[in-house]
Amino acid sequence: MKLIAGVDIGNSTTEVCIGAIEDNGRFRFLSSASRMTTGTKGTLPNVHGIKAALTEAMERIHEPVERLSLIRLNEAAPVIGDTAMETITETIITESSMIGHNPSTPAGAGEAVGRLIFLENLWKGEAGAAYIVAVSNRFSYEEAAARLNQFLPELDIRGLILQADEAVLVENRLNRKMPIVDEVKHITRIPEGKLAAIEVALPGTSVRMLSNPYGIATLLGLDAQETKAITPIAKSLVGKRSAVVIRTPHGNMRENILPAGEIHLKGEKDLQVNIDAGADVIMEAVAQAGEIQDITGQDNTNVGNMLKRIKNGMAEVAGSKGDEIRITDILAVDTLAPVEISGSLAGETCMEKAVGIAAMVKTQHLPMQQIADRLEEELHVKASVAGVEAVMASLGAMTTPGTRLPLAILDMGGGSTDAAVLEPDGSVRTTHQAGAGELVSMLIQTELGLGSRVTAEQIKKYPMGKVESLFHMRLENGAMQFFPESIDPRYFGHVVLLAPGEMLKIEEDIPMERILEVRQDAKKKVFVRNAIRALRTIAPGNDLKNIPNVVLVGGSAEDFEIPEMLMAALSEYRIVCGRGNIRGTEGPRNAVATGLLMSYLGEKHQG
């Protein structure tokens, strides 16, 4: 009996399929396994993940890896994703010229304008002048309230800025109601004697004056030039419940603007497109360029630096020279990215328009043969590079019950989307395009301002709910789920992700509706757009109506909402679309690894 392994190296996972050719020539599929891909797809570090997946698959049939006669690898093209901002205006502010803030537990309501003074210096205050009092952690809320009440009859105190999270505790002890902003971590940076404006909105509403450049100008008496300069701060406070903006007229303010830049497409047509034009115009230029040999960016611009960084990164991991690295496809999507405002007290950000880009990076010599050689050396098993990813996926998809030729497949992985049409006469049309699951994760992380890519991945994979009591939660679709046992109090009031067998709490304070909007929008921008782009490329006459049915394979086909999104989008072209079920057992996974074994049988038969 001859044992053969098919190995599919993906951006996220490495999948293995084991088959046996018996002495009578009969073929059987025996087992499969998958492991996380180690290193960048298509590079030598992949060997560790391949060996782990092979070991697991062989253990399931109680055989050592050395019993394999042949390992067949797919041709893996690495895909690297990054983002490029359309416009970045970094306002560098010294002496805290303008500061925005958004604590989550303010007290009181309304606006207040006055000179800043620290609590310990209230004795220096002058009658007739309006003050905003800053209170550091050295005072307890009881001490702060007592001292304020002592001076309230003499001084015109309009509002408070607290370092501690104690706004409500202080308010309850004051003899006069006023807006109070708390949780100002770096309160010692506040410049005493400068003019400040604070605003606290009523529950359920957001600030109006300090989220409006002209509102800030009205409260602080700014001229037109100063009003333009504080626009990023006003933008950062949109939708916030409380804010403080401080004016220091002698502050040094300058703008450092790095141009967004142009993308240069070298293809059947050489084209240039400015990234400021947005994703739609960029993708139209990519389509018009035809088959692309390379993509570069304008020097000393955002997109130029980004594309250069991608190429240099690939050259390093692949051990290639810089001039051997080519970008052969990109997927651009419009997004928003948080840009931190320099000089802020609490890391305030404003959302700036950006373009997210996934780039397909290839070397002149695809390093797959190096991987095959390393496997032979370490495992003492013959290894060969066997087939194009999309073709192998088509062969594997044919094992889905209920399919027939002609058959189109969409293989949606972590970094790329492959499509192929397999005709009854055996001819195959394929395309390999940048952009899939990793770009979606990047967009979710960027738009939600998440500190962790892991959280973004989890948001992409799992549905959500909000724990509204210890015995029920509201699901993202509006339904209520009740529990016979009490929910862990740690989850109360939080948005949670409903992973299999557990709840994952989202630490960031982001409304569930906002997370849902960003998640679904990111998936539509990447998966739906790329699927239609890929299918149109391989369709006879570039007409989607010439494709009768599509089988979805790859890791992203397991997603709980992407297949339904694609079914809805492709239904207008009367295309039957659904998840594959490879070999009737594997679901949409393992298509390429299975196809690698089937292609070997075909080659053997032809031979």
- Residues of the chain with pLDDT > 90, as a percent, come to 45
> C-alpha dihedral over 232, 236, 239, 243, to 10 degrees?
-100
Specify if 453 maps to a domain.
Answer: no
Q: Which residue has 């490029």 as its token pair? A: 84
Specify if 161 maps to a domain.
Answer: yes
> Using CA atoms, how far apart are residues 582 and 602, in angstroms rounded to an integer?
18
The pLDDT of residue 95 is above 60: no
Q: Are 261 and 87 in contact (CB under 8 A)?
A: no
User: Higher pLDDT residue, 391 or 483?
Assistant: 483
Burial of 153 (0-12, 13-18, 19+ CB in 10 A): exposed
115 in the same domain as 139: yes
319 sits in the region (left: phi over 0; alpha: psi -120 to 50; else beta) called left
> Using CA atoms, how far apart are residues 543 and 565, in angstroms rounded to an integer?
20
Cα dist from 370 to 39, 365, 373, whole Å: 14, 10, 5
Residue pLDDT, tens place only, 114-150: 999 999 999 999 988 999 999 998 899 999 999 999 9
Query: Which is nearest to 21 in space by CA: 41, 5, 35?
Result: 5
215 in the same domain as 241: yes
Q: Out of 295, 328, 363, pick the residue that ends a domain.
A: 363
Domain enclosing residue 150, as ranges: 95-251
The pLDDT of residue 101 is above 60: no
The pLDDT of residue 253 is above 50: no
Burial of 255 (0-12, 13-18, 19+ CB in 10 A): exposed
168 in the same domain as 41: no
Specify if 332 maps to a domain.
Answer: yes
The pLDDT of residue 244 is above 70: yes
Query: Which is nearest to 519 in space by CA: 449, 451, 452, 443?
Result: 443
> What confidence tier does 75 reach under pLDDT thresholds 50, 70, 90?
confident
Residue 317's pLDDT is what?
Answer: 66
Do the bridges between strand 253-258 and strand 180-181 make them parallel or antiparallel, or are there none, so unpaired? Answer: unpaired
For 495, list phi and psi in degrees, rounded to 5. Answer: -80, 135
| DSSP type of residue 77 | P
> What confidence tier does 580 reach under pLDDT thresholds 50, 70, 90?
very high
> What confidence tier does 86 reach under pLDDT thresholds 50, 70, 90?
very low
Residue pLDDT, tens place only, 140-179: 999 999 999 999 999 999 999 998 888 899 999 999 999 9
Q: Out of 251, 278, 296, pick the residue that ends a domain.
A: 251
**Mean pLDDT, rounded, of the chain:** 85
Residue 146's pLDDT is what?
Answer: 94
> What confidence tier does 97 reach under pLDDT thresholds 50, 70, 90?
very low
Specify if 212 maps to a domain.
Answer: yes
> Using CA atoms, how far apart are residues 141 and 147, in angstroms rounded to an integer?
10
The pLDDT of residue 242 is above 60: yes
Specify if 26 maps to a domain.
Answer: yes
Specify if 199 maps to a domain.
Answer: yes
CATH code for the domain of 27: 3.30.420.40
Residue 283's pLDDT is what?
Answer: 92
| CA 318 from centroid of its chain's CA atoms | 25
Specify if 598 maps to a domain.
Answer: yes
Average pLDDT, integer, range 24-29: 88
165 in the same domain as 33: no
CATH code for the domain of 356: 3.90.470.30
Residue 94's pLDDT is what?
Answer: 33
Residue pLDDT, tens place only, 516-562: 999 999 999 999 999 999 999 998 888 888 888 899 998 888 899 99
The pLDDT of residue 11 is above 90: no
Look at the alpha carbons of 519, 522, 524, 528 in this order and tell me if their dihedral is positive or negative.
negative
Q: DSSP labels for 418-433?
A: EEEEE-TTS-EEEEEE
| DSSP type of residue 206 | -
148 in the same domain as 283: no
Residue 96's pLDDT is what?
Answer: 36
118 in the same domain as 61: no
167 in the same domain as 240: yes
Residue 90's pLDDT is what?
Answer: 38
Q: Out of 196, 223, 251, pick the residue that ends a domain.
A: 251
146 in the same domain as 67: no
The pLDDT of residue 343 is above 60: no
54 in the same domain as 32: yes
| DSSP type of residue 580 | -
User: Higher pLDDT residue, 209 or 106?
Assistant: 209
CATH code for the domain of 236: 3.50.30.70
Specify if 356 maps to a domain.
Answer: yes
Q: Are 245 and 221 in contact (CB under 8 A)?
A: no
Q: Which residue has 């399931």 as its token pair? A: 60
372 in the same domain as 335: no
For 122, list phi and psi in degrees, rounded to 5. Answer: -60, -25
Query: For the chain, what is the domain count?
Result: 3
Average pLDDT, integer, range 343-363: 71
Cα dist from 450 to 126, 447, 499, 509, 515, whole Å: 45, 8, 19, 10, 11
Residue pLDDT, tens place only, 313-335: 777 766 666 677 888 899 988 88
Residue 15's pLDDT is what?
Answer: 94
Q: DSSP labels for 441-483?
A: HHHHHHHHT-S-HHHHHHHHHS-EEEEEETTEEEETTS-EEE-
332 in the same domain as 188: no
Q: Which residue has 């969409």 as its token pair? A: 410
167 in the same domain as 217: yes
Angle in degrees, CA 187, 239, 506, rounded to 5: 80
Overall pTM surpassing 0.95 (yes/no) = no
Residue pLDDT, tens place only, 355-402: 888 888 876 555 688 899 999 999 999 999 987 777 888 889 989 988
Q: Are 421 and 550 in contact (CB under 8 A)?
A: no
> Using CA atoms, how far apart are residues 134 and 118, in angstroms rounded to an integer?
5
For residue 565, give the amino acid letter: M
